[in-house]
Structure 1
Amino acid sequence: MTLSAAITPSDANTQTKTWMWRGFPITYQSQGDQGPAVVLIHGFGASLGHWRKNLPVLGERCRCYGIDLIGFGASAKPTPKLEVEYTFETWGQQIADFCREVIGTPAFLVGNSIGCIVAMQAAVDHPDIALGVAMLNCSLRLLHDRKRAELPWYRRMGAPAVQWLLSVKWIGQLFFGQLAKPKVVRKILMQAYRNPEAVSDELVDMLMAPAADIGAVDVFVAFTRYSQGPLPEDLLPLLPCPAIFLWGTEDPWEPIDLGRELANYPQVKKFIPLEGLGHCPQDEAPEIVNPILLDWLSQDATA
């Protein structure tokens, strides 16, 4: 399986390119040559293809970019710790450098799931590159060490035990091998999406392709053992730009009732519930998400 197999063309006008970052190839797509710059940042286990229904539409009025974070999609998957630390600080730096070296201007950052944390980390660490942040079903990081500390003792033990087991190389490889199967991936997606018709063969194939790349197992294990770093409530008070939230009301992984608490920070201008949608609303219902993003971009770009 080649790296390019992970890429799903968004549109005939979409260009797929490679950018070298710290000596590693990073894959990105772009569309549009006018208007504000927008960077689309995927979630864990996903890739820029998760924005294939959004990039062409946003690209009609913006300079729109979708990027594979290092370790995911068709981008390089260097050895954890020895070559790259897979942390939000690393990914935030990647996004900031992309804005400076490839785009050449500050940008609006749009994230899904952990991509929201990456977007906020980039904006907090590099205020000069961020015009605003839109977050779709932000990861609440419920397995974070500080979150687990609030649980009863008998509920704290499960995740660390699993994380330790996955650190044993053959166990991690076995677990990943069982997970990276079309039937299993489809079953997981059917939990995350409320509309089963959105769980297409194209989507399953797109998410499966990078699993065959050398290094994919090590990246997966490294992130599943990453229970440190920032929580959204750490970053929001430091955010140097306005933010909005879009949240699928039927998300089984990031409950909207907990997500609503993030709307209390002054940096958050809007919290928009997306009725009946799951964890990845940009892919499940682009006809709902795209107009909201375009409206946000048009208002903030002229503010």
Structure 2
Amino acid sequence: MATGCISLTLPLPKVEVPLPLFTSTRTKIPTSTLPSISNLSRFRPNGFVVCSISSDRSTLGNQIQDKSNPLPQVQSCTWNWRGYSIRYQCSGSDGPALVLVHGFGANSDHWRKNIPVLAKSHRVYAIDLIGYGYSDKPNPRDVGDSFYTFETWASQLNDFCRNVIKDEAFFICNSIGGVVGLQAAVTEPQICKGILLLNISLRMLHITKQPWFGRPFIASFQNLLRSTAVGKLFFKSVATPESVRSILCQCYHDTSQVTDELVQIILDPGLQPGAVDVFLEFICYSGGPLPEELLPQVKCPVLIGWGNKDPWEIIELGRAYGNFDTVEDFVVLPNVGHCPQDEAPHLVNPLVESFVARHAKSPATSSTTI
């Protein structure tokens, strides 16, 4: 346990299985050690292209960035979507387009260890879903109960590919971002060339996964959070550095990766106006699609990667997703928690590269208008 981390242990079963670097149910994915990348400093967008950040001055783990082969710069940009300001980050000028989609409570900074590495041979984009990060956070009472849904985020993702990237793209998704990616691929299959799901949310709080006798109580509790001061008090207790660190120490197996920088990356956008209402709206969102409903409808190849030490999305339940015909492989990421892209980029980055290489038209796919 890293210094300063507070353990919040859940009574969940652990499955201890000796594993190689990757354990694959079907094919072997080649792996390699990639050069380290920098920790990008946090910044807020004020214009279309706000700034470029050099990626040659800091370290990842114990690896030192090769000064003779610097990583591409990363730009923070804003995009006007339906009148709302959307923050995204981008890097790289050649190769297939990748869109990195974050999970609940996170933002595009959660991909800071992946963007510049992948940008060496890809055009990489990481987006803040509306309501999260430094994108706008319209009040749910003003936009309606059906706004913060997977259908809305899927539309945002597809419009981003159409209007900003102007090309087909691979979706690389973590947690609830995986449901967003699947919904987007089902809605407009001509846009998505492939999806890599990292510890996709099982959506165990979905209303259909609750016992019938408990559903009225769940609805009442959700109404309490939304309509009274209880919800805001709950959020206030969560939106502190100590609480964020505790939560991260729970879902990261290697708690040394829970740094002060990471805590601020997650916490700061949550302190912006409107964040509390979006937070409460989503934790009360128990409808919408399930991964097991979307996977059979997807037309593009799907690869699943799963950290086997995830206390929230248990791998033994997630393995069932590997049985769908659309899923080409289920790759176990050993000794990794819920956010593999940040906790173990040395495993995730090669996985992304090999998946994209198998399904791209060429190593440097030219841009195609969609």
TM-score tier (shorter): over 0.9
Q: What CA deviation, in whole Å up to 9, does each residue of 1:168-188 have, x standing for no partner?
A: 241111111110000001000
Residue 3 of structure 1: how far off its partner (Å): 8.0
Q: What CA deviation, in whole Å up to 9, does each residue of 1:245-275 have, x standing for no partner?
A: 0000010000001100011110000100111
What is the Cα-based RMSD across aligned positions, in Å?
Answer: 2.0
Residue 32 of structure 1: how far off its partner (Å): 0.5
Matched, 1:26 2:26: no
Residue 288 of structure 1: how far off its partner (Å): 1.0
Matched with 2:224 is 165
Any residues of structure 2 matched to 1:220-231 within 5 Å, and which? 220-231=279-290
Q: Separation in 2 of the partners of 1:196 and 1:9?
A: 30
Note the residue ranges of structure 2 that are not aligned, 5 or more in a row.
1-41, 56-72, 363-370
Residue 240 of structure 1: how far off its partner (Å): 1.4
Matched with 1:249 is 308
> Does the Cα contact within 8 Å between 2:89 and 2:126 map onto a contact in 1?
yes
Residue 165 of structure 1: how far off its partner (Å): 2.1
Note the residue ranges of structure 1 that are not aligned, 5 or more in a row.
none
Give the direction of change, closer, same or farther, for the CA distance of 1:68–1:237 in structure 2 (3 Å limit).
same
Q: Separation in 2 of the partners of 1:206 and 1:248?
A: 21
Q: Separation in 2 of the partners of 1:230 and 1:118?
A: 9
Matched with 2:21 is none
Residue 231 of structure 1: how far off its partner (Å): 0.3
TM-score (normalizing by structure 2): 0.77
2:132 to 46, 51, 72: 72
* Higher radius of gyration, 1 or 2: 2
Matched, 1:279 2:338: yes
Q: Separation in 2 of the partners of 1:197 and 1:185?
A: 15
Give the direction of change, closer, same or farther, for the CA distance of 1:82–1:160 in structure 2 (3 Å limit).
same
Any residues of structure 2 matched to 1:291-302 within 5 Å, and which? 291-302=350-361
Matched with 2:95 is 35
Matched with 1:135 is 197
Secondary structure of 2:190's aligned partner: helix
Matched with 1:114 is 176
Identity of aligned residues (%): 48
Q: Separation in 2 of the partners of 1:46 and 1:203?
A: 10
Matched, 1:4 2:44: yes
Give the direction of change, closer, same or farther, for the CA distance of 1:208–1:33 in structure 2 (3 Å limit).
same
Q: Separation in 1 of the partners of 2:132 and 2:142?
A: 17
Q: Separation in 1 of the partners of 2:208 and 2:305?
A: 25
Give the direction of change, closer, same or farther, for the CA distance of 1:237–1:293 in structure 2 (3 Å limit).
same
Matched with 1:91 is 153
Secondary structure of 1:261's aligned partner: helix
Q: What CA deviation, in whole Å up to 9, does each residue of 1:85-129 have, x standing for no partner?
A: 000000000000000000000100010000000000000001111
> Does the Cα contact within 8 Å between 2:51 and 2:75 map onto a contact in 1?
no
Give the direction of change, closer, same or farther, for the CA distance of 1:40–1:9 in structure 2 (3 Å limit).
farther
Give the direction of change, closer, same or farther, for the CA distance of 1:39–1:56 in structure 2 (3 Å limit).
same
Secondary structure of 1:278's aligned partner: coil
Greater than 3 Å deviation, 4+ residue runs:
7-12, 156-162
Give the direction of change, closer, same or farther, for the CA distance of 1:184–1:157 in structure 2 (3 Å limit).
farther
Q: One-letter code of the match for 2:89?
A: Q
1:219 to 275, 278, 293: 278
Give the direction of change, closer, same or farther, for the CA distance of 1:148–1:10 in structure 2 (3 Å limit).
farther
Q: What CA deviation, in whole Å up to 9, does each residue of 1:213-271 have, x standing for no partner?
A: 11101100110110000000010000010100000001000000110001111000010
Q: What CA deviation, in whole Å up to 9, does each residue of 1:38-66 have, x standing for no partner?
A: 00000000000000000111111100000
Q: Separation in 2 of the partners of 1:114 and 1:280?
A: 11
Secondary structure of 2:143's aligned partner: coil
